[in-house]
Structure 1
Amino acid sequence: MLYSHSSYLKHTVLEGFIDLETRPLIAVTLGDPAGIGPEIIAKALPGRVLDFCRPLVIGDAASVERHLQQYNPAVTVHKVTCPKDARFEANQLDVLDCAHVPADLPMARPSAQSGRAAVEAIRKAVDLAVANEVHAITTAPINKEAIHLAGHLYPGHTEMLADFTRTEHVGLMLAGGNLRVVLATTHVPLEQVKALITKERVETILRVTHKWLTQIGIERPRIAVTGLNPHCGDGGVFGDEEATAIVPALDTLRAEGMDVTGPHSADALFGRIHKTPCDAVVTMYHDQGMIPIKMASMGSAVNITLGLPILRTSVDHGTAYDIAGQGIASADSLVEALRMAAVLSPTAHAAS
């Protein structure tokens, strides 16, 4: 059987957080202000999530106010300078005002201004989490080109968060549709993946995944691992990374007592995933893992960064410049990301 958070979520989130002050305080970064981040925040907060968390938006308050007026006019902005000043009321959205951008910032295109604001909000949220002023952070999407234009040359959130928290080994997990998928490589060109699949890398990502699964209460995690090549290389005909890197890594970890299976052909594994006993699947590259998890979750998957000293969840989509400013963006993934942060937060475990 695959994992399920349903009974745990019902107990901790729907039953455990009766009083407002017991609900996890989650910093919500605004994301790229030229994308759909401000829109989905305005649509989802605070009403849809106050039952299970206390959301505090980190970013430009004026941007939030403009989007609230358009998409949620019954709610006004309450500016704060620190989390303890937040009110968490149904008709007000608490915003820690920072990362300012001009009112005429061009929508739906990357700029150094939007990239700088996105990174500044993330850094502030991380600082709050490290200082234990918030219980978790949930991030709206950023645009890689924009943050590069601002001089921050990170491939994405995962690497940025690792740098900000001085964490050596991290992993990108997507969870949804009763499936967890972890990527051995993240946002790199496909031509570079082959060289990155080493015994050391496979061991590292499996150790990070195993540790996180034990931390959330799975006593003996079961992890399925895909190969890199079609049919796992077919004995070397289509590549030898399975024999030279993946199998040796799995042998080492099995010898240590870890329950890991594979390498499996990715198409065969995901084709029978509902019959495969595992708590997570580790895949070798971005699309190999992202396509099946997004199909399984139907747009409600949650991004979780493994290995950090803080808890971070995120939406499973990007800035969606193609629809930014049109009012048609769905906030469902943001709600699920906040719900997952609430479930996994230290306060949830204390309430259970």
Structure 2
Amino acid sequence: MHPQHRTAGQPAQDLPVVALTLGDPAGIGPELIARLLARPEAAQLANVVLIGDPWLWEAGQRIAGVRVALDPVDSFAAARGRPATGRAAWLAMDTVRPGDVSLGQAGAAGGASVLRALDACMDAALAGHADAICFAPLNKHAMKLGGLRHDDELHHFAQYLGVTGYFCEFNTLGDLWTSRVSSHIPLKDAAAALSVAGIKDAARLIHRALQASGVPEPRVAVAAFNPHGGDGGTCGREEVDIIAPAVRELNQEGLPVQGPFPADTIFLKAQAGEFQAIVTMYHDQGQIAIKLLGFSRGVTVQGGLPIPITTPAHGTAYDIAGQGRASDAATWQAFNVACRMGRSHRAARAAQA
């Protein structure tokens, strides 16, 4: 996707508004966002609104060794109609004091800071002032210490945004996307979590998400659950009783989904270009493959929400925080996905209006 170039003085109203956060203040997020916004093309892809603490933004630039000029705004609404200047907008917000953050350590103050920034972004989305959200890495333990009442950020997003339907995380690596039927549950419970309805929901959702990201006719494969795809029922019956029936019903709906394919070969097919998406049955079935194929470039997309939300798939990397060594490759990819999906989201909203 090539950037849409704009010159200073032209209105930026045709660009998607992408809300950007600094992530966990004790992690590598601030320096990653500094590197991201130091790229001139970032402001050509979207009307970017960076939200966060001024001291933390200064620290991120210092660690990254860059200086980035921003345009101060006092609200997301004000950022929506601003002229394109080649710079991101800056919405200052006090969420945490420097003395309450210990670099490289998960803490309640940092977790609460992350929640406040994300909630402000979601408020902007609910009000129609933001078209996508891209957040720098966060830490679930810190967020729980800081007040998170859910297992993960996705469930927090879903409740905050009033989602009642199916939602799940997508993990992406370039042109390859994965969804999963079960996520953050013990492996011993994964078989019981499988259902025809769950597989169909996961397949439909990733098909729609890929279309929103610019792929008009996604090719979707479904992974088996058991070794060797169950060997015709001799090594487990989930494929016979649940997965294959789900695939048949999806085909009857007109969705060109294929499978189930044994999990130990399905990613070879995708790597060869046969499929752009894989529906996996449980968390590590897809995560191990995606991270092995490209850990430093992976992106997590929060699927099934009323607004696109993306983040780099790696974590806060507390062990190297503040050292200026963190790569922004995955952050750049997450930002690009947010821009593409934000553009589609904005167009769909305009069409409905």
Aligned partner of 1:164 in structure 2 is 160
Aligned partner of 2:351 in structure 1 is none
Within 5 Å, give how 1:257-336 maps onto structure 2.
257-275=254-272, 277-297=274-294, 299-336=296-333
For residue 168 of structure 2, what is the amino acid of its counterpart?
A: G
Aligned partner of 1:23 in structure 2 is 15
Contact 2:38 2:67 in 1 (8 A): no
Candidates 165, 172, 187, aligned match of 1:175: 172
Aligned partner of 1:3 in structure 2 is none
The one-character-per-residue Cα deviations of 1:77-105 (angstroms, maximum 9, x if unpaired) are: 66543025557766776133142333341
For residue 43 of structure 1, what is the amino acid of its counterpart?
A: R
Per the TM alignment, residue 33 of structure 1 is displaced from its structure 2 partner at its CA by 1.1
In 2, the alpha carbon distance for the partners of 1:204 and 1:348 equals 20
Within 5 Å, give how 1:50-199 maps onto structure 2.
50-75=43-68, 79-85=72-78, 94-167=90-163, 168-199=165-196
For residue 139 of structure 1, what is the amino acid of its counterpart?
A: F
TM-score (norm 2): 0.86
Contact 2:110 2:142 in 1 (8 A): yes
More divergent stretch after superposition (218-227 vs 325-334): 218-227
Aligned partner of 1:225 in structure 2 is 222
TM-score (norm 1): 0.86
> Structure 1 residues 25, 246: CA separation in 2 closer, same or farther (over 3 Å shift)?
same
In 1, the alpha carbon distance for the partners of 2:344 and 2:92 equals 22
> Structure 1 residues 93, 101: CA separation in 2 closer, same or farther (over 3 Å shift)?
farther
Per the TM alignment, residue 42 of structure 1 is displaced from its structure 2 partner at its CA by 1.8
> Structure 1 residues 164, 193: CA separation in 2 closer, same or farther (over 3 Å shift)?
same
Contact 1:77 1:95 in 2 (8 A): no
The one-character-per-residue Cα deviations of 1:292-345 (angstroms, maximum 9, x if unpaired) are: 223434522322222211121211211111211222111121112112222222
In 2, the alpha carbon distance for the partners of 1:330 and 1:217 equals 26
> Is 1:337 aligned with 2:329?
no
> Structure 1 residues 43, 212: CA separation in 2 closer, same or farther (over 3 Å shift)?
closer
In 2, the alpha carbon distance for the partners of 1:91 and 1:127 equals 23
Per the TM alignment, residue 348 of structure 1 is displaced from its structure 2 partner at its CA by 9.0
Per the TM alignment, residue 27 of structure 1 is displaced from its structure 2 partner at its CA by 0.5
Give unmatched runs, 5+ long, in structure 1. Answer: 1-8
For residue 71 of structure 1, what is the amino acid of its counterpart?
A: A
Contact 2:133 2:310 in 1 (8 A): yes
**Runs (4+) off by over 4 Å:** 17-20, 76-79, 84-93, 214-220, 347-350
Contact 1:171 1:209 in 2 (8 A): no
Candidates 35, 45, 50, aligned match of 1:43: 35
Give unmatched runs, 5+ long, in structure 2. Answer: 348-353
For residue 100 of structure 1, what is the amino acid of its counterpart?
A: V
Per the TM alignment, residue 235 of structure 1 is displaced from its structure 2 partner at its CA by 3.1
Contact 1:294 1:301 in 2 (8 A): yes
Aligned partner of 2:350 in structure 1 is none
In 2, the alpha carbon distance for the partners of 1:84 and 1:258 equals 39
In 2, the alpha carbon distance for the partners of 1:214 and 1:51 equals 22
> Structure 1 residues 347, 219: CA separation in 2 closer, same or farther (over 3 Å shift)?
closer
In 1, the alpha carbon distance for the partners of 2:162 and 2:146 equals 21
Contact 1:46 1:55 in 2 (8 A): no
> Structure 1 residues 298, 69: CA separation in 2 closer, same or farther (over 3 Å shift)?
closer
More divergent stretch after superposition (311-320 vs 82-91): 82-91
The one-character-per-residue Cα deviations of 1:10-36 (angstroms, maximum 9, x if unpaired) are: 2xx245x56561432210122211111
Structure having greater relative contact order (Cα 8 Å, sep ≥ 6):
1
Contact 2:47 2:89 in 1 (8 A): no
Contact 2:219 2:274 in 1 (8 A): yes
Q: How many residues align?
A: 339
> Structure 1 residues 284, 217: CA separation in 2 closer, same or farther (over 3 Å shift)?
same
Q: CA RMSD in A?
A: 2.6
